[in-house]
Amino acid sequence: MAFKSTVNKCFLTVQLVACICTVSFSANAANCDWLGGSGNWTSSNWNTCLGSFPSSGDIASIATGTVTLDQSITLQQLNLSAGIIDGNNNLSISGQTNITGGNSTMRGTGITRADGGLTIDGNFMDIQGSRSLVNGAGQTANWTSGSVRLLNTGSTLVNEISSVFNITGNSRNLSGGGTFENAASINVALTSNVDVLTVSSGLQNNGTITAQNGTLALSTDATGSGQWHANGGKIQVNSNADITTTGAIGVSNGGELEINNNASMSGSNLTMDATATLETIGNNTLSLSGDLSFAMTNEAQWLFDDASTLEMAGGTGAAVGNWAAWSSLEIGGFDIGTDPLNHVGDPSGFSNNFDLAELVIGADAHVFLSDIWDNGNRNGTFGAEEALYVDTLMFADASALLNLNGLHIYYKNLIGNTDQIIDQTVVPVPAAVWLFGSGLIGLIGIARRKKA
């Protein structure tokens, strides 16, 4: 009995020691510093790392040299400043990811996941090869300074669903042959309205991109299904860039939308509040598959170049009378005639009058005019409602239709047939009368007009 009791006590003591050792090992997370030079992640080239390499629960700091991911790694925190992470495996950080100071690089293949928040404020952050840097779902990224370069076709910066990617500070660049993929919210709020974020990398927007202060300058093509909103800031489409979305475009709170020569932008609805500015410069196209609605009362905020085109491409295939399926086009000009029945307008009406150089009714598009918002030009010489003056009205094919909805359009040139212009009463308010947050709430107070 004595022998058995002694054995039991020893067994319990061993169990207790093992338990204590296990708890002690898991509780002591290491703060590991790369010693420089080149080597594998699993090497012993780490300082203060408990004789091992950084893994789950540990903090890894890389300030110089090149560390190659020779296996997939999970960390508590990553501090990368002027170092290089290479290799063909994944790196997952459950806590904060800090890319600060100096010139930092991630390259190779695989995914670097920032699943606990991301900060970028170094001189340069380079992503090379087919490496992806991901701001994980539900997380917040803050890019406060320096430039990001997505150097290769497969290099990607990803903002996952339910995440926020804030871009603040002074002017900087997002460049390279890679792509910034947005599935949630990107907020551009630069220090001043003269600061510019220039994007010359690929951009895929399936969430919402908002320019709150400063200019978001788009120098290459962008695609996706997301929304674009100049909410106090400026969205600038530079020459030869093509911005395409199936989502909505909004301009509010003193925001601006500028489309430059040989550029184009397409979306569903375009909604602009009374403080918005729309400027088209040179030969360019703004194409909408939905509705155009604006509440500006100052023609100086409607700077439509003589070489620019507005294409209304929505309502395809919609039946006459099914007005909810048609696209609507807000008009805001002062109606000074002179022959509404034959669409002959006074020459003075074709300038500084919310006028258009070229209006294209797209292939099989069905569009009606609307005067929902009072743009300051009602009670003209030839009618209480506002009117539309356009240099050239073009129907893209024989199936395209424009419904005047009891309103007046005046044009100098017609490409198409007059029987493609109909005049029937429209009852529903267009779908484009939607609000972009508080920026358009003021529009609610403006009288809405429905044709009886």
Residues 191-209 pLDDT 10s: 999 999 999 999 999 999 9
Q: Do 433 and 397 form a contact (C-beta atoms < 8 A)?
A: no
Q: Residue 97 pLDDT more than 60? A: yes
- Please, which pLDDT band fits residue 447 given cuts at 50, 70 and 90? very low
Closest to 53 (Cα-Cα) out of 33, 38, 78: 33
Identify the pLDDT of residue 399: 98
437, part of any domain: no
Q: Give the whole-number percent of the chain exceeding pLDDT 70.
A: 88
158, part of any domain: yes
For the ranges 23-37, 116-130, 381-395, 424-438, which has the lowest average pLDDT?
Answer: 424-438
Q: Residue 437 pLDDT more than 60? A: no
- Please, which pLDDT band fits residue 51 given cuts at 50, 70 and 90? confident
- Please, which pLDDT band fits residue 16 given cuts at 50, 70 and 90? very low
Identify the pLDDT of residue 383: 86
Q: Residue 18 pLDDT more than 80? A: no
Rounded-to-integer distance, Cα 180 and Cα 222, Å: 10
Identify the pLDDT of residue 436: 42
pLDDT digits (tens, 9 = 90+) for 315-333: 999 999 999 999 999 999 9
Query: Within 10 A of 430 (CB to CB), how many other CB atoms are there?
Result: 22
Please compute Rg for the chain using Cα positions.
30
Mean pLDDT, to the nearest integer, of 9-32? Answer: 47
Q: Do 169 and 144 form a contact (C-beta atoms < 8 A)?
A: yes
Question: 98 forms bridges with which residues in the sheet?
Answer: 79, 119
307, part of any domain: yes
What is the pLDDT of the chain when averaged over all its residues? 90
For the ranges 122-126, 163-167, 175-179, 364-368, which has the lowest average pLDDT?
Answer: 122-126
> Both tokens of residue 25?
């090992």
Identify the pLDDT of residue 101: 86
Note down the domain range covering 282: 31-420
14, part of any domain: no
444, part of any domain: no
Identify the pLDDT of residue 28: 66
Q: Residue 429 pLDDT more than 80? A: no
Identify the pLDDT of residue 384: 92
Identify the pLDDT of residue 102: 86
135, part of any domain: yes
- Please, which pLDDT band fits residue 427 given cuts at 50, 70 and 90? confident
Q: Do 238 and 217 form a contact (C-beta atoms < 8 A)?
A: yes
Q: Do 224 and 206 form a contact (C-beta atoms < 8 A)?
A: yes
- Please, which pLDDT band fits residue 403 given cuts at 50, 70 and 90? very high
Domain count across the chain:
1
- Please, which pLDDT band fits residue 107 given cuts at 50, 70 and 90? very high
pLDDT digits (tens, 9 = 90+) for 249-266: 999 999 999 999 999 999
234, part of any domain: yes
For the ranges 56-70, 225-239, 265-279, 432-446, which has the lowest average pLDDT?
Answer: 432-446
441, part of any domain: no
Q: Residue 435 pLDDT more than 50? A: no
The residues, any chain, with a CB within 8 Å of residue 16's CB and separated by 6 or more, are: none
pLDDT digits (tens, 9 = 90+) for 343-385: 999 999 999 999 999 999 999 999 999 999 999 999 999 989 9
